Chains A and B, each alone.
Chain A
Amino acid sequence: MLHIPCPYCGPRDETEFHYGAQAHVAYPEPNEVSDVEWAKYIFIRSNPKGWLAERWVHSAGCRRWFNVWRNTITHEFGPSYKPFTAQPEKPTA
Chain B
Amino acid sequence: MSNDILNFTFDGDHYVGRPGDTLASALMRNNVVHFTDSAYKDRPRGIFGLWVEEPNALVTVETGAGETMVPATTIELVDGLVARSLQGIGDLPDTRDTARYDKANRHTDVLVVGAGLSGLMAAAEHARAGRSVIIVDDKPEFGGHLADLQHEIPAELIAVLALPNVTHLQRTTVLGLYDQGYAVAVERRTDHLGTQVRSDMARIRTWHIRANHTVLATGAFQRPLVFANNDRPGVMLSHAAATYVDKFGVETFKTAVIVTVDNQGYRDAVRLANNGVHVLAVVDIRSKPVGRAVAAVEALKIPVITGKTAVDTGANTDGCVATVTIATAEGNSPEVFTTDLVALSGGWTPTVHLATYIGIKPTWDPACAAFVVRHKTALHSSTGMLSGDFAEDDQPMVFFGPILDQQQAEVAFVDHQRDAPARDLRRAINAGMRSIEHVKRYTAIGTAQDQGKTSGTITMGLIGQALGLAPDEIGSLTFRPPYIQVPFAALAGRDRGLLSDPVRTTPIHSWHVNAGAPMEDVGQWKRPWYFPQPGEDMHAAVLRECAAARNDVAVMDASTLGKIDIQGPDTGIFLDRIYTNMYSTLKVGMSRYGLMCGVDGMVFDDGVTTRVGENHFIMTTTTGGAARVLDWLEEWLQTEWPDLNVYCTSVTEQISTVAIVGPKSRELMSRLSPGLDVSNDAFAFMENKHADVAGIPARIARISFSGELAFEINVPAWYGLHIWESVMREGADLNVTPYGTESMHVLRAEKGFVIVGQETDGTQTPDDLGMDWIVSKKKDFVGKRSFSRADTSRAGRHQLVGILPDQGDYVVPEGAYIANASDENAVMPVKHIGYVTSSYPSAELGRSFALALVANGRERIGERIVIPMAERVVTGVITDSVFIDKENTRRDG
Q: Do A and B come from one complex?
A: yes
Q: List 23 A-B contacts (CB under 8 A).
A: A1-B178, A2-B180, A3-B180, A30-B780, A30-B785, A38-B785, A39-B789, A41-B599, A42-B599, A42-B786, A55-B635, A57-B631, A57-B635, A59-B627, A59-B631, A63-B630, A65-B638, A65-B639, A74-B179, A75-B179, A75-B180, A76-B179, A84-B642
Q: How many A-B residue pairs have CB under 8 A?
A: 55
Q: How many Å from the CB of A79 to the closest CB on chain B?
A: 15
Decide yes or no whether B826 CB sits under 8 A from chain A.
no
The answer to whether B642 touches A83 (Cβ under 8 A) is yes
* Chain B contact residues, CB within 8 Å of chain A: 178-180, 182, 208, 210, 359, 599-600, 627, 630-631, 634-635, 638-640, 642, 780, 784-786, 788-790
The answer to whether B634 touches A57 (Cβ under 8 A) is yes
- Bound-state CA distance A76–B182 (Å) is 12
> Which B residues lie within 8 Å of A63 (CB)?
630, 634
- Bound-state CA distance A11–B635 (Å) is 20
Closest 10 pairs between A and B when the two form their complex, measured CB to CB: A30-B785, A75-B179, A65-B638, A83-B639, A42-B600, A65-B639, A42-B599, A57-B631, A27-B640, A65-B635
Most buried by A among B210, B359, B630, B635: B635
Q: How many Å from the CB of A87 to the closest CB on chain B?
A: 13
* Chain A contact residues, CB within 8 Å of chain B: 1-3, 18, 20, 27, 30-31, 33, 35, 38-39, 41-43, 55, 57, 59, 63-65, 74-77, 83-84
> Which B residues lie within 8 Å of A27 (CB)?
640
Interface of A is mostly: mixed
Excluding A1-B178, A65-B638, A83-B639, 18 further A-B contacts by CB distance (< 8 Å) are A1-B182, A1-B208, A20-B635, A30-B784, A31-B780, A31-B785, A33-B785, A38-B785, A38-B789, A41-B599, A42-B786, A55-B635, A57-B635, A63-B630, A63-B634, A65-B639, A76-B179, A76-B180
Residue of B639, B642, B785 near A55 (CB, 8 A) is: B639
> Which A residues lie within 8 Å of B178 (CB)?
1
> Which B residues lie within 8 Å of A20 (CB)?
635
Q: How many Å from the CB of A77 to the closest CB on chain B?
A: 8
- Bound-state CA distance A9–B180 (Å) is 19
- Bound-state CA distance A2–B210 (Å) is 10
> Which A residues lie within 8 Å of B780 (CB)?
30-31
> Which B residues lie within 8 Å of A18 (CB)?
631
> Which B residues lie within 8 Å of A3 (CB)?
180, 210
Interface of B is mostly: helix
- Bound-state CA distance A83–B635 (Å) is 10
- Bound-state CA distance A28–B182 (Å) is 40
Q: How many Å from the CB of B794 to the closest CB on chain A?
A: 12
Q: How many Å from the CB of B87 to the closest CB on chain A?
A: 38
Most buried by A among B208, B599, B627: B599
- Bound-state CA distance A10–B631 (Å) is 20
> Which B residues lie within 8 Å of A83 (CB)?
638-639, 642
The answer to whether A2 touches B790 (Cβ under 8 A) is no
- Bound-state CA distance A57–B786 (Å) is 25
> Which B residues lie within 8 Å of A64 (CB)?
634, 638
> Which A residues lie within 8 Å of B634 (CB)?
57, 63-65
> Which B residues lie within 8 Å of A65 (CB)?
634-635, 638-639
> Which B residues lie within 8 Å of A42 (CB)?
599-600, 786
Residue of B nearest to A73 (CB): B359
Given contact pairs A2-B179, A41-B599, A63-B634, A35 touches B639 in the complex (Cβ within 8 A): no
> Which B residues lie within 8 Å of A31 (CB)?
780, 785
Q: How many Å from the CB of A86 to the closest CB on chain B?
A: 15
Residue of B nearest to A63 (CB): B634
> Which B residues lie within 8 Å of A38 (CB)?
785-786, 789
- Bound-state CA distance A43–B635 (Å) is 18
- Bound-state CA distance A41–B790 (Å) is 15
> Which B residues lie within 8 Å of A77 (CB)?
180
- Bound-state CA distance A83–B636 (Å) is 12
Residue of A nearest to B785 (CB): A30
Q: How many Å from the CB of B302 to the closest CB on chain A?
A: 52
> Which B residues lie within 8 Å of A74 (CB)?
179, 359
Q: How many Å from the CB of A25 to the closest CB on chain B?
A: 10
Q: How many Å from the CB of B867 to the closest CB on chain A?
A: 34
> Which B residues lie within 8 Å of A57 (CB)?
631, 634-635
Q: How many Å from the CB of B11 to the closest CB on chain A?
A: 42
Q: How many Å from the CB of B234 to the closest CB on chain A?
A: 46
- Bound-state CA distance A38–B627 (Å) is 27
Residue of A nearest to B627 (CB): A59
Residue of A nearest to B378 (CB): A93
Residue of A nearest to B638 (CB): A65
Residue of A nearest to B641 (CB): A27
> Which B residues lie within 8 Å of A33 (CB)?
785
- Bound-state CA distance A1–B208 (Å) is 10
- Bound-state CA distance A1–B600 (Å) is 31
Given contact pairs A2-B180, A3-B180, A75-B179, A35 touches B789 in the complex (Cβ within 8 A): yes
> Which A residues lie within 8 Å of B210 (CB)?
3
Q: How many Å from the CB of A11 to the closest CB on chain B?
A: 10
Q: How many Å from the CB of B790 to the closest CB on chain A?
A: 7
- Bound-state CA distance A64–B638 (Å) is 7
> Which A residues lie within 8 Å of B784 (CB)?
30
- Bound-state CA distance A63–B637 (Å) is 12
